[in-house]
């Protein structure tokens, strides 16, 4: 099967934008895992003070937005379980003593977030786009428009949150223009 590019409809774009921010955070987590202990401590501190609440808000907003459309019970349950798992691993990471965190802890959190985002983008959102009713679309537009009007996405801030030592080969996972 040929992978066809599907243009994301306007009602779903705010959710995809939030996913983009989460993927930047995933990159930061993987970079910190490959970096020094001090880099991991710095990112763990940032997660506690800024990013954990942001992740929680994104997941809550997605849950509310998706409740506006008719999802199967199975799909709703899977989304809720994945959101719960993300919140759980973030809580574990942010409640542990920063000095005790290992590279594998950062990779584990990154993997859980990335798996969910990729699943949403490749399966859930295209499915919704194909099957949403007009009334579901209207309700979703109202909800995601509100999300979008109140959302500040710290993508650039995340890209620059921790300066990893590229010369030491620790920051080669990101290929965005800001990090090259």
Residue 132 has pLDDT above 50, yes or no: yes
pLDDT class for 167, splitting at 50, 70, 90? very low
What is residue 144's three-state secondary structure?
Answer: helix
Considering 39-43, 124-128, 148-152, 174-178, the range whose residues carry the highest mean pLDDT is 124-128
44 alpha carbon, distance to own chain's centre: 16
Closest residue by Cα to residue 18 from 60, 48, 76, 50: 60
Give the model's pLDDT for residue 3. 56
Compute the C-alpha angle 176/179/180, nearest 5°. 85
Buried b (16+ CB within 10 A) or exposed e, 82-99: bbeebbebbeebbeeebe
Mean pLDDT, the chain, integer: 82
- What tokens does 67 get? 């409740």
pLDDT digits (tens, 9 = 90+) for 57-110: 999 999 999 988 888 899 999 999 999 999 999 998 888 887 888 889 999 999
Give the model's pLDDT for residue 154. 66
Chain length of the chain: 180
- What tokens does 111 get? 């993997």
Number of Cβ within 10 Å of residue 40's Cβ equals: 23
Closest residue by Cα to residue 42 from 158, 134, 144: 158
pLDDT class for 36, splitting at 50, 70, 90? confident
Q: Where are the domains of the chain?
A: 10-168
């Amino acid at each position: 099967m040929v992978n066809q590019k599907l243009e994301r409809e306007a009602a779903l774009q705010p959710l995809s934008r939030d996913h983009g921010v989460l993927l930047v955070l995933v990159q930061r987590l993987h970079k910190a895992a490959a970096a020094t202990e001090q880099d991991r401590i710095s990112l763990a501190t940032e997660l506690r003070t800024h990013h954990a609440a942001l992740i929680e808000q994104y997941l809550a907003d997605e849950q509310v937005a998706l409740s506006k459309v008719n999802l199967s019970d199975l799909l709703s349950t899977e989304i809720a379980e994945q959101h719960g798992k993300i919140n759980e691993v973030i809580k574990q990471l942010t409640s542990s003593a920063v000095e005790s965190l290992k590279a594998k802890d950062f990779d584990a959190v990154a993997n859980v977030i990335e798996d969910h985002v990729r699943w949403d983008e490749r399966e859930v959102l295209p499915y919704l786009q194909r099957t949403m009713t007009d009334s579901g679309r209207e309700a979703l537009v109202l909800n995601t428009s509100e999300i979008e009007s109140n959302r500040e996405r710290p993508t650039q801030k995340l890209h620059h949150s921790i300066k990893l030592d590229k010369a030491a080969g620790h920051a080669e996972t990101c290929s965005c223009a800001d990090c090259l």
